[in-house]
Amino acid sequence: MTAARTPLMAGNWKMNLNHLEAIAHTQKLFFALNDKDYAAVEVAVLPPFTDLRSVQTLVDGDKMKIKYGAQDISAHDSGAYTGEISGPMLSKLKCTYVAIGHSERRQYHGETEPVVNAKVKAAFRNGIVPILCVGEGLDIRKAGDQVSYTLAQLDGALEGVPAEDAEAIVVAYEPVWAIGTGEVATPEDAQEVCGAIRVRLAELYSQELADKVRVLYGGSVKSSNAAGIMAKPDVDGALIGGAALDPEEFVKIVRYRDQAVG
Ligand SMILES: O=C[C@H](O)COP(=O)(O)O
C-alpha cells in the first residue's frame, strides 16, 4: 500500500460479546495498544448495537484512540421501521464507521444491491464512513468470475454516490468462501481483486480519488497471515472476524509489521 493511505485494522465482532464482555474486551485493548500502534495503524472495532454505548463511554472516558462503529445501519433516518437502527442514532453515539453489505447480511437478511446502495447513502448522510463489503462466493470463484462479480457489487453500491462522499469510503473485499472457514485467500488472490476495485474506483471517479480510498481484505485473517496480505500494494488493512474476538491476537494483527511475511 502507499504511505499516503493509513492502514485500517477493523475488528468485526459480529453477534458476539454482550455489553459487559465488550467493556472487558475494550479495556484489554486499551492496556495493550500504545501510541506507536496508533501512529502506524488505525484501529477500529465494530461491536453489536447493544455494546456501542458502553464502548463509547470507555473510549471517551479513557481518551482511547481506537475508533468504533456499527455492523449495519437502516436505510431510513427515522420512523416506523421496527428493529432498525438509524444513522442519526449511530452518529449520536459518535460512530466513525459502519459495515454495510456484509455477506452475512446479504445471505441471511436478503440485502440486495439497492438496499446496500441506500444504506451507503444513509451512512454518508449522517457523517458515518461506510465499510462497504463486497466479495464472491465459492461457485463464482470456481468459475473464475470473482473480479467481474465483485466489481458489479461495487458499481451497485456506489450508484448515485458523489465523489465528495465516495473519497471517504472504505471497501472491504471479503471472498465469502474465506469467511470463518480458515480458508484464506492467498495474498495474490487478495491483490487481484483489491487492485481491480481500485481501478474501478478510478474509472467511476478519478485516479486521485482511487488512490485515497482504503481497500481492506477480510476472510480468516490471523496474525500468522496478516503480514503477507498487507505486503500487497492494493491491500490497505483488514476486516477481521473471529481473530478479533481474542484481544491478544487482534493486537498481534495490528502489529503485523512485527510478523514475518509467510
Ligand atoms: O467481517 C469479517 C469477516 O467476515 C471475516 O471473518 P473471519 O475473520 O472470521 O473469517
Q: Tell me which residues have their CB closer than 6 angstroms to ligand 1.
A: 12, 102, 174, 179-180, 218-221, 239-243
Residue 153 amino acid letter:
Q
| Closest protein CA for atom 2 of ligand 1 | 241
pTM: 0.97
Give this complex's ipTM: 0.99
Distance, in Å, from the CA atom of 105 to the CA atom of 208, rounded to the nearest integer, reads: 31
Mutation probe of ligand 1 site: the residue of 103, 108, 171, 179 with most atoms within 8 A of C-beta = 179
Please give the chain's pLDDT, 262 residues, in tens.
Answer: 555 899 999 999 999 999 999 999 999 999 999 999 999 999 999 999 999 999 999 999 888 899 999 999 999 999 999 999 999 999 999 999 999 999 999 999 999 999 999 999 999 999 999 999 999 999 999 999 999 999 999 999 999 999 999 999 999 999 999 988 887 789 999 999 999 999 999 999 999 999 999 999 999 999 999 999 999 999 999 999 999 999 999 999 999 999 877 6
Domain ranges across the chain = 8-258
What does the alpha-carbon distance between residue 107 and residue 246 come to, in Å, rounded to a whole number? 26
Q: Which residues have a Cβ under 8 Å from the Cβ of 191 and sit 6 or more positions away?
A: 232, 233, 234, 235
Could you read off the pLDDT of 15-42 as tens digits, one per residue? 999 999 999 999 999 999 999 999 999 9
Let me know if domain 8-258 sits in CATH 1.20.1250.20.
Answer: no
Q: Whose CA is nearest to atom 3 of ligand 1?
A: 241
Cell numbers 461491536 correspond to what residue?
47
Torsion angle of C-alpha atoms 69, 182, 231, 135, degrees rounded to 10 = -60
